[in-house]
Amino acid sequence: MAGDKVQLLEEKNIHLWFGGSPIVLCTMKLELNKKVGAILAYAKMLNVQPEHIREVVFDLICYDSVRLIVDTIENCKFTGLDIPRNGVFGMDVPIRVKNPTTRNIEFVIKSVTTTGGETWQNENGIRFNMSLEQKSLINVQGDLNRQFLDNCTRDGIDYTRLIFQPVFNASYWLCACGALNWSDEPVCCECKVQKKWLYDNIQSDLLKSQDEQRKNAATRVRREVEERERQEKEHNRETYEKRKAEYENQLKKQKSRKNEKKFILVLIVLFIFAGGGFLFFTYGLPYIDYQDAVMSMNRGEYDTAAEKFDKMKGYRDSDELKIECMYKKAIDKFYARDYSAASQLFSEIGSYKDSTQRYTDSLLGMADGYLEQEDYVQAYSVYVQSGFDYSTNDNAKKCAEEIYKDACEDLENNHLRIAYEKFAGIGDFKKSTEYATECQYRLANRAYDRGEYKSAIDTYTSIAEYKDVGKKLKKLEILSIILSASPDVDTPAAWDVYDGYCPECGNKAQYVLEFYQNGKYKFKVVCDNNCEIEDMTGKFKIEDKTFYLSNYIRGILIWEEAASIKSVKQDEQSVEGKNTAIVMTDPLNQKNKKTVTLYGNNVSDNTISIA
């Protein structure tokens, strides 16, 4: 077992720093590797300066178990680096320790050189002496943490990353995300939160005041809701009394027709006993059902009445009365301020009476309700649905102003998806169209950097005339042809299958090379004996006429040129039964060519020759 060959002697997660150092020491580890017969030391370091680091020189001080110095290894180096700010390095580089009694280690930074050629010197040999460990923000703030999170939401701050209590000193400040920033930096280098905003919004006095205001506002809202409920109950009571009076009036009318009903009943009896059953069931019963439905409608039982009228199949004016029931129900919903239900009902009954205008009024009432709740996005959407926008309705304009302001903050804070949806939702208000396109542009750039090429190309295509998008699409033209051959992210856009031998058992096997929409390739071996062989994966990209494969050097992603594209052939018409192909140089044998087949049997006969 690999674990039996390695004995851990010391491991510390320390997060140490000293003033002015461009390096934070995150982790130290000392282990006895019995396989190589040596003690190996490791260190994980963090770049906290703006410039990329190319080289770090340090001394390694070795101690025995009672902290006596037994050796010093001078001028150790991490070189050939390209470490950006907040990038970590070193943990995968072992340092051989000579003295076998070493049980503790200490790293002392001597110099740090940037990729720009500038070198920082630790002239006084200062040791790592300051812990950058931070307390939990929620533990420090306690009940006030909810108000802090509300402030984050209000100002469009991603609070999911703000988990530590910030620290502000004369020469540096530690953000709530844990990143170290220099004192003159107004914005966090990692999470982009503003220093002043963070300082202001962790003050307990401010949070207490805001928390009290929030609670008072909640109390005020609760009282307003209670008042609305009281008014609704009063309205419902008045409606009930009105219906009751109408019902009693109806009873009086029915009483005046008592003799008529008696006469009808006598006729019914006579019809039945005189063989007039057919006439009774044809004319008598529908009339009785009709009167019953009318009474249900007059009592305000609109759903029941509508159902009864519907069963009459056009008897007298039952079809119209069915719609009347829906109309009256919608009117009641409207006056009860249930605008959502009212708008749905008015929409269903079309142009009956004043339903069209009532439908618009219901939508406006619903939009005004969203506006009172400060749900500006939903409110503006309903205003537009009702036929109004910022140019025709003052409330809609207020919503557009708030949405635009929030979207600008989201764009500034790089919340691109949210910003785009807000800008796109308010049309051409101010610079919304331009900013929405800018969001799409940045989202496409982000997708491309992540290797999400299909998504990036689709977005670039939708804004082809913006900035340098045309040039980008020209560079990605060949990549676009390859990705278009794949119907989904799980199906290869291109592949090749050729015979070989299994590296495990030596029997015949098939080698499969696949390229996917998400910018990844996979090389796998399919053995006849079903040997379990781990797939090789990586990233690829094609720009202009150059084919690149990814490589990681000391944890840094490097794009290496694998081949250049010699020619591209495209037929105008699709060819049944033929596949598009890429002809590329075999990376294992430069004299061989490999034909990689694009997905699909009904695609244009594109041949991309890579040599």
Strands 581-585 and 607-610: parallel
Q: In terms of pLDDT, which residue wins out, 278 or 17? A: 17
Coil vs helix vs strand at 525: strand
Identify the CA nearest to 523 among candidates 533, 536, 541, 538. 536
pLDDT at residue 445 greater than cutoff 70: yes
Taking a C-beta distance cutoff of 8 angstroms, is the pair 121, 112 a contact?
no
Mean pLDDT of 54-80: 93
Which range has highest mean pLDDT (392-396, 505-509, 514-518)? 392-396
Phi, psi at residue 121, to the nearest 5°? -115, 135
d(CA 93, CA 84): 18
Q: In terms of pLDDT, which residue wins out, 611 or 590? A: 590
Q: In terms of pLDDT, which residue wins out, 578 or 453? A: 453
* CATH match for 2-131 among 1.20.120, 3.30.390, 2.40.10, 2.60.40: 2.60.40
Residue spans per domain, the chain: 2-131, 137-202, 475-610
Phi, psi at residue 217, to the nearest 5°? -65, -40
State what percent of residues in the chain have pLDDT above 70.
85
pLDDT at residue 170 greater than cutoff 70: yes
Taking a C-beta distance cutoff of 8 angstroms, is the pair 27, 52 a contact?
no
Give Cα 183 distance to the centre of its chain: 32
Q: In which band, very low, low, confident or very high, does the pLDDT at 551 lie, cut at 50, 70 and 90? A: confident
Identify the CA nearest to 499 among candidates 484, 513, 509. 509
pLDDT of res. 214: 81
Mean pLDDT of 134-139: 90
What count of residues does the chain have? Answer: 611
Q: In terms of pLDDT, which residue wins out, 528 or 345? A: 345
Taking a C-beta distance cutoff of 8 angstroms, is the pair 504, 479 a contact?
no
pLDDT of res. 269: 59
Residue entry with tokens 């017969």: 37
pLDDT at residue 2 greater than cutoff 50: no
DSSP assignment letter at 429: S
Identify the CA nearest to 103 among candidates 209, 11, 177, 169. 11
Reduced 3-state DSSP string for 296-350: HHHCCCHHHHHHHHHHCCCCCCHHHHHHHHHHHHHHHHHHCCCHHHHHHHHHHCC
Range with the lowest mean pLDDT among 7-16, 46-55, 565-574? 565-574
d(CA 6, CA 103): 14
Which range has highest mean pLDDT (56-60, 64-68, 135-139)? 56-60
Taking a C-beta distance cutoff of 8 angstroms, is the pair 479, 541 a contact?
yes
Contacts 24+ apart (CB under 8 A), 367-373: 367/395, 367/396, 368/395, 369/337, 369/339, 371/395, 371/398, 371/399
d(CA 201, CA 340): 38
Q: Which residues pair with 16 in a beta bridge?
A: 25, 131
CB neighbourhood size of 467 (10 A) = 11
pLDDT at residue 610 greater than cutoff 60: no
Residue entry with tokens 């309700």: 369
Range with the lowest mean pLDDT among 67-81, 284-298, 381-395? 284-298
Mean pLDDT of 56-66: 94
Phi, psi at residue 28, to the nearest 5°? -125, 140
pLDDT at residue 111 greater than cutoff 50: yes
Q: In which band, very low, low, confident or very high, does the pLDDT at 245 lie, cut at 50, 70 and 90? A: confident
Q: What is the pLDDT of residues 178-197, one digit of tens each?
A: 999 998 899 999 999 999 99
pLDDT of res. 63: 94
Q: In which band, very low, low, confident or very high, does the pLDDT at 457 lie, cut at 50, 70 and 90? A: very high
Q: In which band, very low, low, confident or very high, does the pLDDT at 260 lie, cut at 50, 70 and 90? A: very low
Tokens (6 digits) for 583: 């002809």
pLDDT at residue 24 greater than cutoff 90: yes
Q: What is the pLDDT of residues 458-514, one digit of tens each?
A: 999 999 999 999 999 999 988 887 777 777 778 887 777 778 888 888 888 888 888
Q: In which band, very low, low, confident or very high, does the pLDDT at 608 lie, cut at 50, 70 and 90? A: very low
pLDDT at residue 527 greater than cutoff 90: no
Coil vs helix vs strand at 38: strand
pLDDT of res. 185: 92
DSSP assignment letter at 281: I
pTM above 0.95, yes or no: no
Taking a C-beta distance cutoff of 8 angstroms, is the pair 508, 529 a contact?
no
Q: In which band, very low, low, confident or very high, does the pLDDT at 591 lie, cut at 50, 70 and 90? A: low
Give Cα 122 distance to the centre of its chain: 44
Which range has highest mean pLDDT (17-21, 216-220, 562-566, 595-599)? 17-21
d(CA 426, CA 423): 6
Nearest-5° Cα angle at 144, 139 to 146 = 95
pLDDT of res. 292: 86
Mean pLDDT of 300-316: 88
pLDDT of res. 601: 34
Q: In which band, very low, low, confident or very high, does the pLDDT at 401 lie, cut at 50, 70 and 90? A: very high
pLDDT of res. 59: 95
Mean pLDDT of 109-136: 92
Coil vs helix vs strand at 366: helix
pLDDT of res. 278: 47
DSSP string for 116-134: TS-EEE-TT-PPP-EE---
d(CA 34, CA 138): 45
Q: In terms of pLDDT, which residue wins out, 352 or 248? A: 352
pLDDT at residue 586 greater than cutoff 80: no
DSSP assignment letter at 551: E
pLDDT of res. 164: 93
pLDDT of res. 569: 52
pLDDT at residue 340 greater than cutoff 80: yes
Mean pLDDT of 589-607: 51
State what percent of residues in the chain have pLDDT above 90.
43
Phi, psi at residue 128, to the nearest 5°? -65, 120
pLDDT of res. 568: 55
* Side chain identity, residue 378: Q
Tokens (6 digits) for 406: 């929030």
Q: What is the pLDDT of residues 536-550, one digit of tens each?
A: 888 888 888 788 888
Task: For the chain, state the CA radius of gyration.
Answer: 38
Mean pLDDT of 19-26: 93
d(CA 206, CA 214): 12
Q: Which residues pair with 497 in a beta bridge?
A: 512
